């Protein structure tokens, strides 16, 4: 009875739900189709653009927009719909994009793995087919098998055979002999054709339609905005020069309409900003793999094994290996070690906690470092061009839009850089942006006196800023650079604890000889690399200074050479242990006017002390030489004594001389030992003397 009442309530609820749905179905049928043209486009220099469609709808309306398949993800990520007349935003529908392999796997014949003919026939086992081999054969597929067949005298090849059940019985036909195969089951044949159609559509680049539904009453305004991938807008300039007139700068923005609609009176803005933008695959349906769970009803019981209780296993091990008393003794030792183990555990906890804090601090330092690097990056200026005139541009079309057409300030100069060209400078212009616009980087085509003069390139130029541009080689001007060598001078010397601290001054000079063969005076800007280790001495200041260059302005009159001399200097510090210097090196400092009298006196004392040490070393070397000579003489005497009779007078003479030589060696070795001690004392005395010095 309860089940019957439940089903009655269920049927009644379904009927009520169907009745409630009737008005919505009628509303869907009353929907009207409306068009929303593009009215505003904002293009960024980072490869994206914002598009806004504006228009009016009446009542419940439907709007269809076409997009390239590759742009659907951006649309799903960024689209904003607004009904400005009090209506509601309803469903946004579009064609799904199921993964092709998943779609193909739903058909009766699976084409996901590029199956062979044998694979296809194996998939439809049990189906009836009609083949020509070459006679007409109708039968039901039993399967496909491979058989080995000899080929030639030694080779063996595999041949696929189709096994069929026909009215006459079983037939086996080689697939090599089959010319035509027809699937007699119309459903299976249709499944195969649909799968092939899906494959063909997956390679198509057709546009996709997105349908927007607005629900409401009356005539009202709606808008749709979204971000979409777009070509980067570009700028190019023309600069017209004349001797008696201010330079004329004309700038153009180059834009492309790659959307699916024409732009008709579109409000266009160009922005140099770089918003963070990425692509996320929201169009592709995503599926989550679920685990397979076997119903408990079908799960067979298996033999189970059970692990032993750990305490019991420990007792058995102790009784088998150590016995009862030994186990009791071990448990007593374990109880005694418990406090120490607890202490060790606490220390490990504290160490782990400290390690975590250290890791957290290291992470904070790393994040701060990354943040500082990011803040130091040069991301360019943010500025906007609002195109005053509404833009008309067909889809897949490009256009040049004027952004500047004004006179600017400029001064002709010649720019010389030895690394660019060793002989001639380049014709250039010091350009000042006197407009109110931020000029974006781009190429500049220069015209001088009504003729093409060359091409230049300019980086971003804010209002009231100046930049140098160069556009041709100045063949009327020559520059000859020459390096002038300068000696290194000792500036100061300080003697501290046995170390000689010296300061040297290095100087370098470069001369630029400039010759102007033209008819008018010109300004030549000579560029020289800036090395922060060197200080500019002459001229005292450069005309201009960049991050890595000096620029010096030189007025060059026709036919009169001008010379620019650039002097730089730097100092270097050196620390040398006095004990590592020989006498000639020390005497160089004694003869220098940069060394004070106190330092010279100390260095003279060092020479004197080192001379005493050298004398002791020489005397000891002489004594060691004598010992070596006597040793060689003793070797000769030993050889003679071995061949001389011991009773002879000559043997006694050899023995007496050998004894005297031994006395000499012993005396010399005593003196050598005393000499070593004397040298050590002298060296210690020198070290103590040097350590106590602090002279300038």
- Higher pLDDT, residue 3 or 530: 530
Q: What single-letter DSSP state applies at residue 483?
A: E
* Cα 372 to Cα 276, 358, 367, 368, 380, distances in angstroms: 19, 21, 9, 6, 17
Q: How many residues does the chain have?
A: 696
Which strands, in side-by-side order, build the sheet including 61-67?
A: 32-34, 61-67, 208-215, 88-94
DSSP three-state, residue 202: helix
Residues 6+ apart with CB under 8 A from 519: 558
DSSP string, 113-176: T---HHHHHHHTTT-EEEEESSSEEEEEEEEEEEEEEEETTTEEEEEEEEEEEETTEEEEEEGG
Q: What's residue 70's pLDDT?
A: 75
Q: What's residue 362's pLDDT?
A: 43
| Share of residues in the chain with pLDDT > 70 (%) | 79
Q: What's residue 273's pLDDT?
A: 66
- Partners of residue 404 on adjacent β-strands: 251
> CA-to-CA distance for 49 and 75, rounded, in angstroms?
12
Q: What's residue 618's pLDDT?
A: 93
> CA-to-CA distance for 284 and 72, rounded, in angstroms?
10
Per-residue pLDDT band at 107 (split at 50, 70, 90): confident
**Burial of 214 from C-beta contacts in 10 A (0-12 / 13-18 / 19+):** buried
At 418-463, the pLDDT tens digits run: 999 999 999 999 999 998 888 888 899 999 888 999 999 988 888 8
DSSP three-state, residue 199: helix
> CA-to-CA distance for 222 and 216, rounded, in angstroms?
11
> CA-to-CA distance for 164 and 177, rounded, in angstroms?
14
For residue 543, pLDDT over 50 is answered with yes
- Partners of residue 161 on adjacent β-strands: 145, 174
Residues 6+ apart with CB under 8 A from 551: 525, 526, 527, 528, 542, 543, 544, 545
Q: What's residue 342's pLDDT?
A: 47
For 239-261, letters b (16+ CB in 10 Å) and e give bbbeeeeebbbbbbbebbbbbbb
Q: What angle do CA 132, 135, 138 make, to 5 degrees?
A: 65
Q: What's residue 242's pLDDT?
A: 86
For residue 95, pLDDT over 80 is answered with no
> CA-to-CA distance for 124 and 203, rounded, in angstroms?
27
Question: How many of the other CB atoms lie within 10 Å of CB of 671?
Answer: 14
Q: What's residue 115's pLDDT?
A: 87
At 300-315, the pLDDT tens digits run: 556 655 555 666 566 6
- Higher pLDDT, residue 696 or 273: 696
At 334-369, the pLDDT tens digits run: 444 444 444 444 444 445 455 445 444 443 443 333
Cα dihedral 670, 676, 681, 682 sign: positive
Q: What's residue 110's pLDDT?
A: 82
Q: What's residue 339's pLDDT?
A: 45
> CA-to-CA distance for 474 and 247, rounded, in angstroms?
19
Mean pLDDT score across all residues of the chain: 80
Residues 6+ apart with CB under 8 A from 305: none
DSSP string, 380-448: ----EEE-SSPEEE-TTEEEEEEEEEEE-EEEEEEEEETTT-SS--EEEEEEE--SSSPBPSEEEEEEE
- Say what the alpha-carbon torsion angle 452, 455, 458, 463 is, to the nearest 10 degrees: 0
Per-residue pLDDT band at 94 (split at 50, 70, 90): confident
**Burial of 5 from C-beta contacts in 10 A (0-12 / 13-18 / 19+):** exposed
For residue 164, pLDDT over 70 is answered with yes
For residue 69, pLDDT over 90 is answered with no
H/E stretch holding 101: helix 100-104
End-to-end Cα spacing for the chain: 116
Q: What angle do CA 283, 289, 292 make, to 5 degrees?
A: 155
Q: Which of 430, 455, 421 is nearest to 553 (CA)?
A: 430
* Cα 99 to Cα 106, 256, 286, distances in angstroms: 11, 32, 8
Q: Which of 239, 233, 234, 251 is nearest to 456 (CA)?
A: 239
Q: What angle do CA 338, 339, 342 make, to 5 degrees?
A: 85
Strand 549-556 with 169-174, pairing: unpaired
CA atoms lying within 13 Å on the CB side of residue 363: 6
Q: What's residue 585's pLDDT?
A: 86
pLDDT, average across residues 83-103: 77
Q: Which of 249, 232, 231, 227 is nearest to 240 (CA)?
A: 249
Q: Tell me the domain boundaries of the chain.
A: 128-183, 408-475, 480-578, 584-695
Q: Which of 87, 86, 75, 82 is nearest to 54 (CA)?
A: 82
- Say what the alpha-carbon torsion angle 549, 555, 558, 560 is, to the nearest 10 degrees: -90
Contact (Cβ atoms closer than 8 angstroms) between residue 490 and residue 508? no
DSSP three-state, residue 464: coil
Q: What's residue 99's pLDDT?
A: 62
Question: How many of the other CB atoms lie within 10 Å of CB of 486?
Answer: 14
pLDDT, average across residues 26-31: 49
pLDDT, average across residues 191-217: 78
pLDDT, average across residues 38-60: 90
> CA-to-CA distance for 35 and 294, rounded, in angstroms?
55
Q: Which of 506, 437, 443, 537 is nearest to 239 (CA)?
A: 443
DSSP string, 319-381: HHHTHHHHHHHHHHHHHHHHHHHHHHHHHHHHHHHHHHHHHHHHHHHHHHHHHHHHHHS----
> CA-to-CA distance for 231 and 396, rounded, in angstroms?
11
For residue 77, pLDDT over 80 is answered with yes
pLDDT, average across residues 489-514: 90
For residue 18, pLDDT over 50 is answered with no
H/E stretch holding 496: strand 489-496
Strand 442-448 with 234-242, pairing: parallel
pLDDT, average across residues 29-46: 82
For residue 515, pLDDT over 90 is answered with yes
Q: What's residue 359's pLDDT?
A: 46
H/E stretch holding 478: strand 477-485
Using alpha carbons only, how large is the chain's radius of gyration in Å? 50
């Amino acid at each position: 009875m309860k089940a019957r009442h439940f089903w009655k309530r269920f049927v009644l609820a379904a009927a009520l739900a169907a009745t409630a749905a009737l008005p919505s179905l009628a509303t869907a049928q009353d929907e009207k189709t409306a068009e929303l043209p593009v009215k505003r486009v904002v293009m960024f220099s980072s490869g994206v653009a914002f598009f806004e469609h504006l228009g009016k709808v009446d009542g419940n309306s439907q709007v269809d927009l076409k997009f390239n398949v590759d742009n659907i993800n951006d649309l799903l990520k960024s689209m904003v719909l607004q009904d400005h007349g009090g209506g509601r935003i309803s469903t946004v529908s579009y064609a799904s994009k199921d993964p092709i392999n998943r779609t193909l796997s739903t058909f009766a014949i699976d084409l996901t793995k590029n199956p062979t003919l044998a694979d296809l026939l194996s998939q439809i086992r049990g189906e009836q087919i009609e083949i020509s081999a070459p006679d007409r054969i109708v039968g039901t597929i039993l399967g496909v098998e491979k058989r080995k067949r000899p080929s030639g005298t030694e080779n063996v090849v595999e041949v696929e055979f189709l096994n069929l059940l026909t009215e006459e019985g079983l037939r086996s036909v080689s697939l090599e002999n089959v010319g035509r195969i027809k699937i007699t089951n119309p459903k299976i044949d249709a499944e195969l054709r649909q799968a092939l159609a899906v494959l063909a559509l997956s390679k198509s680049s057709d546009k996709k339609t997105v349908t927007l539904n607005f629900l409401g009453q009356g005539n009202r305004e709606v808008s749709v905005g979204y971000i979409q991938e777009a070509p980067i807008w570009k700028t190019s300039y023309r600069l017209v020069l004349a001797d008696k007139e201010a330079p004329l700068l004309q700038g153009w923005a180059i834009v492309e309409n790659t959307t699916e609609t024409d732009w008709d009176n579109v409000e266009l803005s160009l922005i140099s900003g770089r918003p963070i933008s990425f692509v996320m695959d929201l169009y592709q349906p995503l599926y989550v793999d679920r685990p397979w769970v076997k119903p408990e009803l079908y799960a067979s019981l298996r033999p189970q094994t059970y692990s032993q209780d750990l305490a019991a296993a420990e007792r058995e091990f102790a009784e088998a290996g150590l016995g009862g008393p030994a186990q009791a003794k071990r448990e007593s030792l374990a109880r005694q070690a418990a406090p120490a183990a607890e202490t060790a555990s606490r220390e490990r906890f504290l160490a782990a906690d400290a390690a975590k804090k250290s890791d957290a601090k290291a992470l904070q330092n790393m994040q701060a470092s990354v943040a500082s690097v990011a803040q130091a990056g040069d991301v360019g200026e943010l500025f906007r061009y609002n195109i005053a005139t509404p833009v008309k541009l067909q889809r897949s079309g490009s256009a040049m839009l004027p952004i500047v057409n004004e006179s600017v300030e400029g001064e002709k100069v010649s720019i010389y850089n030895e690394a660019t060209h060793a002989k001639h400078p380049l014709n250039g212009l010091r350009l000042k942006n006197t407009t109110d616009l931020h000029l974006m980087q781009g190429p500049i085509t220069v015209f001088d006196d009504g003729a093409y003069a060359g091409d230049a390139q300019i980086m971003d130029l804010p209002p009231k800023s100046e930049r140098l541009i160069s556009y041709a080689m100045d063949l009327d001007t020559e520059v000859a650079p020459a390096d002038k060598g300068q000696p290194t001078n000792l500036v100061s010397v300080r003697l501290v604890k046995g170390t000689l601290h010296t300061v040297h001054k290095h100087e370098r000079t470069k001369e630029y000889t400039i010759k102007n063969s033209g008819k008018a005076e010109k300004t030549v800007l000579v560029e020289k690399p800036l090395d922060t280790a060197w200080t500019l001495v002459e001229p005292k200041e450069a005309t201009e200074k960049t991050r890595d260059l000096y620029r010096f302005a030189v007025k060059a009159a026709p036919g009169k050479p001008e010379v620019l001399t650039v002097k730089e200097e730097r100092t270097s510090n050196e620390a040398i242990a006095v004990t590592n210097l020989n006498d000639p090196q020390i005497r160089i400092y004694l003869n220098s006017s940069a060394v004070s009298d106190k330092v010279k006196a100390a260095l003279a004392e060092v020479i004197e002390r080192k001379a005493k040490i050298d004398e002791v070393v020489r005397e000891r070397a002489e004594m060691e030489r004598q010992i070596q000579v006597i040793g060689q003489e003793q070797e000769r005497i030993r050889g003679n004594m071995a061949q001389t009779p011991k009773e002879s007078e000559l043997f006694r003479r050899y023995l007496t001389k050998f004894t005297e030589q031994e006395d000499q060696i012993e005396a010399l070795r005593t003196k050598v030992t005393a000499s070593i001690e004397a040298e050590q004392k002298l060296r210690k005395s020198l070290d103590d003397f040097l350590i106590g010095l602090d002279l300038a």
